[in-house]
Amino acid sequence: MIDNVKNVEEAVKLAKRTTCNDLLFVAGMARFYNCKPLNMERDDFLLFLSTLYHYGKIQGIRQERAKRRN
């Protein structure tokens, strides 16, 4: 459980790196999958998706580095 909290905190920090291009990408993905925010006036939904996108990207990079070490 504690490790999970660390992962969430790390992901939240990554949200600060969100660019306009990231938001456009995740908005396109959301449209493709017919996902819509509960409140259309807020950007929380896109920021959440962008956070997941960045976290997945970082985890993928870490896995590739680990493969190279072994």
The reported pLDDT for the residue numbered 1 is 53
Total domain count for the chain? Answer: 1
Contacts of 37 (CB under 8 A, 6+ apart): 44, 45, 46
The reported pLDDT for the residue numbered 12 is 87
Residue 6 lies in a domain: no
- Domain housing 53: 15-69
Residue 5 lies in a domain: no
**pLDDT one digit per residue (tens) for the chain, 70 residues:** 556 888 888 888 888 889 999 999 999 999 999 998 888 778 889 999 999 999 999 899 999 999 999 8
Residue 23 lies in a domain: yes
Residue 7 lies in a domain: no
Residue 22 lies in a domain: yes
Residue 49 lies in a domain: yes
In the block, tokens 């509960």 appear at 38
